[in-house]
Chains A and B, each alone.
Chain A
Amino acid sequence: MNETPIIKVCQLTKTYRVGDVDVHALRGVDFEVARGEFIAIVGASGSGKSTLFNVLGGLTAPSSGSVHIEDKNLLHMTDTERTNLRRNTVGFIFQKYNLLPTLSAEDNIRIVKYIGGHGTGLDGPFREVLRMLDVTDRLQHKPRALSGGQQQRIAIARAIVNGPAILLADEPTGNLDSQNSAAVLRLLKDLNERLGQTILMITHDEEAASYARRRMHMCDGQLV
């Protein structure tokens, strides 16, 4: 495992304005993630873990502190730089899959490859990953024709098609039954162990968190 942290978070805060009230979602978060780690951040609803996911993925800007992803500080990033971060460095897996409903499963993967500037073809090694994900026979179907587990496996394929340094997963099993949940979590573990994929998973489920190599707990916007 590489000693240089791929994620380094120092005194991270995030404050939202909701009406006239300031909501302090993150209150000075510190942690590091080494390259190749599989970390679970566990917390109850409202603990700030999804906000942390959004900040780490460049989906929203931090309020203060520093977040270094591969030595680049997100605090001072422009919108364009955050777009490039999402395009090249981070892959996302969402609770609600977030596949484009108008495209087939395969085109959902191809468009991300296209956006990443890697053409649209799926090469041999990636076809192997698709076999590992067990979705090769569902690639021509639209998301509405897929089960939740199948959609989440397509979402995983989409998240790693451009070889991101970090895979961020926000409650990836939140909408799945126990059988599909276990399958998806085994896949994430496989990706980490076989491909050395760095994974940071947000979950409220201790059972899901048990698949990770390291667990951190979050409460009231802080790691405890």
Chain B
Amino acid sequence: MINKLTFANLAHRPVRTVLSIVAIAVEVTMILTLVGVSNGTLHESARRARGTGADILFRPPGTSALSSLGSSPMSDKFPGILSHEPHVVMATGTMVQPLEVFDTITGLDFDQFARMSGGFHFLQGELPVQDTDMIVDAPYAREKNLHIGSTLTLISQRWRICGIYEGGKLARIAVKLSALQRFTGNPNRLSQVYIKLDDPSRASEVVDALRIKYPGYQIYTLEYYTSLLSVSSLGLLRNFTYVVIGIAMIVGFIVVFMAMYTAVLERTREIGILKAVGGSPGLILNMLLRETLLLALLGIALGILLTYVTQWMMSHFAPGGLTQETVYSWWPITGMLAILGALAGATIPGMKAVRQEAVEALAYE
């Protein structure tokens, strides 16, 4: 009977009900989208790193595994030197030039990279021939509406798109290493070196040996490097995530509080009637909390659906930038956060309703 009353109350005020559900849904979507983008973007970076086919990443001193590469401090002699180390089959260097926001442009030796990774899988076009030729991955081409023959100005240089390749390998934008070195004024310099071994299971052993021989250099197995590309490993991102989650919860709390406060005020007389016919404070609170729980559950369901909408929008309108993935493990966490926020928001107005004198409530117009 209480469930029937709960449904009837929600159906009786459809606008308030829908607005409350949407507000909770926005809270859920905010959290799930943020977590999805954080995880998706990092996992995409990890996927591209694994796509190089390398077993070890070699970076200059003063960098860290997760720092952005904003300079080219290593000599391009390193690949040749490192390729003579025990168990090293080959080594190839890249230069990474940061662009705006999250984009970078990567210069590489395409022949060496092809030997290491199997090469790019071109959907259209081919490898660069001229110094101003550029290849981009399909998501980036889709976002920027690039085709073979299109031109693009980056780092004050006009580039011609000569190839579009399947994503998931190394970088979104790639040019000839020598060209990027020249255009950025970093001749013979590299940002990092990818190393391939004869036996990938020896990666840790080789890393240990290289660290002794090249003290100060940042040397990691690719497995370790990609494992670091997670939200929990990045303190700043983790804190940012928690802050946004906190804000989303506060917004959800305020919205539900206002919705339930209004509902309690609107229904003062009805609550008085329930009290007059013997309804206990527990029954009235129970009814209000069931309403809130139902709103929260519907809001969570809608919020999850909206997360797929944001995912679709991101993949269609900004495929070359951030990547959003569905993080199922966060569904129950977000759901619980939304329910707790909603219940907390309903408790104060609920207690007000419970404490109200029946005779006062019945006199309410």
Q: Do A and B come from one complex?
A: yes
Residues of A within 8 A of B (CB): 54, 57, 59-60, 79-80, 83-84, 86-88, 92, 94, 98-103, 107, 110-112, 114-116, 120, 158
- What distance in Å separates the Cβ of A80 from its nearest Cβ neighbour in chain B? 7
- A59-B1 in contact (CB<8A): no
Q: Which 10 A-B pairs have the closest CB atoms?
A: A87-B278, A102-B8, A114-B1, A102-B12, A59-B359, A86-B278, A60-B359, A112-B277, A98-B273, A59-B358
Complex partner residue of B275 from A54, A83, A84, CB under 8 angstroms: A83
Known A-B contacts A86-B277, A87-B277, A111-B1; A101 and B357 likewise in contact (beta carbons under 8 Å): no
Known A-B contacts A59-B358, A59-B359; A100 and B270 likewise in contact (beta carbons under 8 Å): yes
- A116-B278 in contact (CB<8A): yes
Residue B178 interfacial (CB < 8 Å): no
B276, B278, B279: most-surrounded residue (chain A CB, <10 A):
B278
What are the residues of chain A within 8 A of B278 when measuring CB–CB?
A: 83-84, 86-88, 112, 115-116
What are the residues of chain B within 8 A of A158 when measuring CB–CB?
A: 277
What are the residues of chain B within 8 A of A110 when measuring CB–CB?
A: 1
Number of A-B contacts (CB under 8 A): 74
**B267-321 at interface with A (beta carbon < 8 Å):** 269-270, 272-281, 283
Complex partner residue of B9 from A54, A80, A102, A120, CB under 8 angstroms: A102
- A92-B276 in contact (CB<8A): yes
- A59-B5 in contact (CB<8A): no
What are the residues of chain A within 8 A of B5 when measuring CB–CB?
A: 100, 102-103, 107, 111
- What distance in Å separates the Cβ of A92 from its nearest Cβ neighbour in chain B? 6
- A98-B12 in contact (CB<8A): no
B-side interface residues, number (CB < 8 Å): 25
What are the residues of chain A within 8 A of B280 when measuring CB–CB?
A: 80, 83, 87
- What distance in Å separates the Cβ of A57 from its nearest Cβ neighbour in chain B? 7
- What distance in Å separates the Cβ of B158 from its nearest Cβ neighbour in chain A? 68
- A115-B279 in contact (CB<8A): yes
Complex partner residue of B276 from A59, A107, A114, A120, CB under 8 angstroms: A59
What are the residues of chain B within 8 A of A112 when measuring CB–CB?
A: 277-278
Can you report 15 residue pairs joining A to B where beta carbons are below 8 Å apart? Answer: A54-B359, A57-B276, A59-B357, A59-B362, A60-B359, A79-B281, A86-B276, A86-B278, A87-B277, A99-B273, A100-B270, A100-B274, A107-B1, A107-B8, A116-B278
What are the residues of chain B within 8 A of A103 when measuring CB–CB?
A: 4-5, 8
CA distance A115 to B273 in the complex (A): 12
0 or 1 for each of B86-98: is its CB under 8 Å from A? (1 = yes) = 0000000000000
- B4-A115 in contact (CB<8A): no
Query: Taking CB as reference atom, which chain A residue is nearest B2?
Result: A114
0 or 1 for each of B354-365: is its CB under 8 Å from A? (1 = yes) = 000111001000
What are the residues of chain B within 8 A of A98 when measuring CB–CB?
A: 269, 272-273, 276, 362
0 or 1 for each of B1-31: is its CB under 8 Å from A? (1 = yes) = 1101100110110000000000000000000
Query: Taking CB as reference atom, which chain A residue is nearest B277?
Result: A112
Given contacts A83-B279, A87-B279, 6 further A-B contacts (CB under 8 A): A83-B280, A98-B272, A98-B362, A101-B12, A107-B4, A111-B274
What are the residues of chain B within 8 A of A88 when measuring CB–CB?
A: 278
- What distance in Å separates the Cβ of A90 from its nearest Cβ neighbour in chain B? 9
What are the residues of chain B within 8 A of A101 when measuring CB–CB?
A: 12, 270
CA distance A84 to B275 in the complex (A): 10
CA distance A104 to B194 in the complex (A): 74
Query: Taking CB as reference atom, which chain B residue is nearest A80?
Result: B280
- A102-B362 in contact (CB<8A): no
What are the residues of chain B within 8 A of A79 when measuring CB–CB?
A: 281
- What distance in Å separates the Cβ of A158 from its nearest Cβ neighbour in chain B? 7
What are the residues of chain A within 8 A of B273 when measuring CB–CB?
A: 98-100
Query: Taking CB as reference atom, which chain B residue is nearest A89?
Result: B278
**B316-357 at interface with A (beta carbon < 8 Å):** 357
What are the residues of chain B within 8 A of A102 when measuring CB–CB?
A: 5, 8-9, 11-12, 270
- A115-B277 in contact (CB<8A): yes
CA distance A148 to B113 in the complex (A): 86
- What distance in Å separates the Cβ of B135 from its nearest Cβ neighbour in chain A? 64
Known A-B contacts A59-B362, A102-B9, A102-B11; A120 and B1 likewise in contact (beta carbons under 8 Å): yes
What are the residues of chain B within 8 A of A115 when measuring CB–CB?
A: 274, 277-279, 283
CA distance A98 to B362 in the complex (A): 8
